[in-house]
Amino acid sequence: MLIAISQRNDKNQYGIFVDSLESNYVEYLERFGASVIPIPNSPRNLESYFEEIPIQGLVLSGGNDIGDSELRDNLERKMLELAIEKKLPVLGICRGMQFINDYFGGKLEKVQKHVGVDHKVEFSDDKIKEFFGETFKTNSYHDYGINDSGLSPEFRVFARASDGVIEGLYHPKYCIAGIQWHPERDSPDKKINAKIINAFLDRELYWKPK
């Protein structure tokens, strides 16, 4: 499966914006048989990537807070629009999940004790409980998060941390879902992460064609 993935966009020491992607995204997704195409944040014609390359799915990666890079925000907005138009499965990881929520009218809030820690996550959706079980542990690397007050009305929640912060969400109409943790980084529950990535790549669970 050929997967397009978004990239960080940061200024270097010369004040020039540079795109970058942590190599562990590519290494991790390739373990599951995916091929990964990083998309630049400033293409003149984004549509040509999706027309000339047989892209079959989209990952919105982590890094950058929303608003840090107008280039990246604009690109991911257009990528989501194309994915919806082409009915592609979309997986948001950390910032990627936050951006998906923002795109559909949701909001972020500052959260505490979610940086550089492992914590328990409870599945709150019966469908995913059947698929994965009741609870598991994740890593956590985010200063901002989504609470019920900031959740887009278009989304449903499938996982939460013990403090109520939303850790997983999905769109009931489109093949879009997001997770707040990083499966590509060292994680306390590799089996659950593998099941989620396989579900995304195999178009199961929340990524079934609708």
Return the number of other C-beta atoms located less than 10 Å from residue 117's C-beta: 10
Encoded tokens for 77: 């907005």
Please check whether residue 140 is in contact with residue 116, taking contact to mean a CB–CB distance below 8 angstroms: yes
Please tell me which residue in 114, 142, 171, 182 is annotated as part of the active site: 182
Question: How far apart, in whole angstroms, are the C-alpha atoms of residue 166 and residue 122?
Answer: 10
C-alpha to C-alpha distances, 19 to 36, 55, 78, 170, nearest whole angstrom: 15, 20, 17, 28
Catalytic residue among 94, 142, 167, 171: 94
Q: Is 184 a catalytic residue?
A: yes
Report yes or no: 27 and 57 within 8 Å, Cβ to Cβ.
no
Which residue out of 76, 167, 175, 184 is catalytically annotated? 184
User: How far is residue 183's CA from residue 24's CA, in Å, rounded to a whole number?
Assistant: 10
Strands (E), 2-150: 2-5, 8-11, 17-20, 35-38, 57-60, 90-93, 109-110, 115-123, 135-141, 144-145
Concerning whether 76 is annotated as a catalytic residue, the answer is: no
Tokens of residue 59, six digits: 């990952």
173 backbone dihedrals φ, ψ, rounded to 5°:
-100, -40
Catalytic machinery residues? 94, 182, 184
